[in-house]
C-alpha cells in the first residue's frame, strides 16, 4: 500500500472521530446518557483524562507524549521505502488516525472525549475503535498472514 493511502485512512479516521465528538459535545450534557439502542447502547458524554478503560487517570502528560511518539513513529515508518500489504497499511492508517484523534483532544482539553457506552465496557470513542481495529488487523497480519507465508516458503 502506498503511503498516501495510509495517510488518507489516518485523516479519515481522525476526522470522523473529531466530527463525532463535535456532534456529541454540541448536543449532550456531561454524564447524562441518551439511549440509542434501548438499554444496550447509550451516548454518554465523558471527559477521560486517563488512558483506555479508565487507567492512568493522573497521567495526561505521559499519555500525550506516548500518543505523539506513536504518531511520529508511524509517520517515520511509513516514509521508509517499504511495501506494506493492504492489511498492514490499513492498520497503520487506523492506528495513526486513532492516535491523532485522541491526541487532538489531549492537546485541546487535557482529556479525551468519550461517548459510546455499552454499560459492560468503559465508555469509548471513534478513535478507540480505530485503534482496536488496527491492533486486530496487525495481529492477523503477524499471526496468520505472515506465518502462512513463512510456512509456504519452507515447503
First to last CA, the chain: 27
152 is catalytic: no
Catalytic member of 17, 128, 150, 152: 128
Catalytic member of 105, 114, 117, 152: 114
150 is catalytic: no
Nearest by Cα to 31 from 48, 43, 45, 47: 45
Just list the catalytic residues: 114, 128
Amino acid at each position: 500500500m502506498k503511503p498516501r493511502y495510509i495517510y488518507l485512512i489516518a485523516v479519515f479516521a481522525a476526522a470522523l472521530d473529531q466530527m463525532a465528538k463535535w456532534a456529541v459535545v454540541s448536543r449532550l450534557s456531561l454524564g447524562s446518557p441518551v439511549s440509542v439502542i434501548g438499554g444496550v447502547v447509550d451516548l454518554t458524554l465523558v471527559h477521560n483524562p486517563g488512558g483506555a478503560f479508565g487507567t492512568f487517570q493522573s497521567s495526561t502528560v505521559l499519555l500525550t507524549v506516548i500518543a505523539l511518539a506513536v504518531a511520529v513513529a508511524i509517520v517515520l515508518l511509513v516514509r521508509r521505502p517499504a511495501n506494506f500489504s493492504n492489511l498492514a497499511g490499513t492498520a497503520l492508517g487506523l492506528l495513526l488516525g486513532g492516535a491523532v484523534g485522541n491526541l487532538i483532544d489531549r492537546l485541546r482539553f487535557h482529556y479525551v472525549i468519550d461517548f459510546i457506552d455499552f454499560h459492560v465496557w468503559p465508555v469509548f470513542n471513534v478513535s478507540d475503535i480505530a485503534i482496536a481495529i488496527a491492533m486486530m488487523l496487525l495481529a492477523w497480519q503477524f499471526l496468520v498472514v505472515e506465518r502462512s507465508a513463512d510456512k509456504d516458503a519452507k515447503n
